[in-house]
Chains A and B, each alone.
Chain A
């Protein structure tokens, strides 16, 4: 399977615990995005990497959230001291930068990690 993969698919944790999610993008894709989707809503942007550089973090991302993409390949999203409001689907997407300009490239999504904080 050469698509975007995410692990785990589901995570149930108790409030106050730390959790870490992993995203493996399509191998040649240099851009990686994290989004969060709550029930009945469209996804919201969290953060973005071009290669290993984290170029933007949404104000939705509190200090309890951190993301890395150390070698420009897979990425991790960690949530410290989880709260019930963190319960959501966390989606990862990747794309290939359109260096020639233009509208940019299509984003390919992973299956998501559903987090439930009890």
Chain B
């Protein structure tokens, strides 16, 4: 079992829909990260959170530490939101301070 699990693996939505991507983890963490990766491109950090909820534009990230679960929501989705969304956790694992352990990503396609 992977230490970070995401669902769904693939998601197709129509423009304007509300989107939710889920992440569960099984290790202790210092923080949870949501990242975005466009095809062939680098990774951009969207959120880093250790409790509660953060909002940036149409993106909202929440975390429940007790349940070891986080969600990324996209409101009023747009085709330009199409990308891979990756959940990752960070902590002091085996000596590497704050190295990231990644989920496998959710491929989102938003159709016009």
Contact = CB atoms under 8 A, between A and B. Distances in A.
Interface stretch (B14-22, B66-74, B95-103): B95-103
A64 to B, nearest CB: 20
Contacts of B33: 106-107
Q: Is the interface of B mostly helix, strand, loop or mixed?
A: strand
Nearest to B29: A103
B48 interface: yes
Contacts, number: 75
Interface residues of B, number: 28
A55 interface: yes
Most chain B beta-carbon neighbours within 10 Å: one of A95, A97, A110: A95
Interface of B: 4, 30-31, 33, 35, 40-45, 48, 50, 86, 88, 90, 94-105
Interface of A: 31, 33, 35, 40-45, 48, 50, 55-56, 91, 93, 95, 97, 102-112, 114
